[in-house]
Structure 1
Amino acid sequence: MIKVNLKTLVLIMGIFLISSYLIGYTMNKESSGETKIFEIANTEEVFGKKDEEMVTVRKHYMILNPPKDLIQLKELVEKYSKDHPVEGEIKIIEGKNRFFYMYFYRESKDFPRDWQPDESYMNTDRIEHHKHDLITSIIWSDVDSQKKYYSYDKSKEGKVIKRMHFIEDQLVE
């Protein structure tokens, strides 16, 4: 009886360990070097007053394993922007111009991939508290459709080491 229970226990432990390994492998696969971009849930902002002629749209994204090269980073978000256009998501409101801001952040200890805004009573953690992890952005409008790209190489603490500014494909000094 003890032998059967011991075999069963070893079998259950083996299945558990193998399952844990496979789950861990799958969850860490995104950390293995593959670059991935996704929208950070619950962070989209659309605002504008009735008497104003503009509507501002801000969308926030996370880049897992972003390229270090700032030109490659710009090209990555440019392709993402073309593949995932935000203009169609926000309908044109008669007589108003739309201003678009797409912000892309890196993953960090303080800003993990599953981060969500927190507006609780004693703890406030908003997207604007994570500007040190902002590594690139795109800005354009209905009035000026030329997209402006800003890319940053930052230290772990968020200090800007190098920055590049593009208008469409032209590097601006």
Structure 2
Amino acid sequence: MGNLTKVAYTIASALCQKGVHVSILRLDEYEKVRSFVPRECRDYLLHLTSEELSSNKVWLVGEETTREEQEKATKGTLFIPFSQFPLKQFRRDCIYHTTPALIVPKSLVNVHSCENWLPRKAMSATRVAGILHALEGWEMHECGTSIILSDLDQVWEACLSHGFQPLLLPHH
């Protein structure tokens, strides 16, 4: 839910390629994402009605996810934004993860916080991507919808090899 971006398409495609079911509520968004996901993985992409949505306990959401859409989630749902900015929190009975971010390596000094919604020593994934490009000497640009799963695996391995770590889920 929310604004479909290059990141949203890539996440949905990567999850489907890994055999994870991805459910989409809005029919127009489902059709757009379906055209992006490789044919052999499309069975993992599901269009749900709002009644069926209650069975999903993890929601990947964009910036423009509305209060009404969040209200359709069941108690205890985990909202994980794929957007640059955090999701507006309307529910006290749900868990809200931060925007995509990583913990910086201990060797990276004088970095305390880049965005005020992230914890200390955390950096947004987009900033980390820029650093990785420089460290690895990569010249390619992730424009359009050209990202493939092997590229994501390469980026993740490079990220870990330079000491960046996943930002853990908040405790509730």
TM-score range, shorter chain: under 0.3
More strand per residue: 1
TM-score by length of 1: 0.23
Q: Which has the larger radius of gyration?
A: 1
Q: Structure 2 length normalisation: TM-score?
A: 0.23
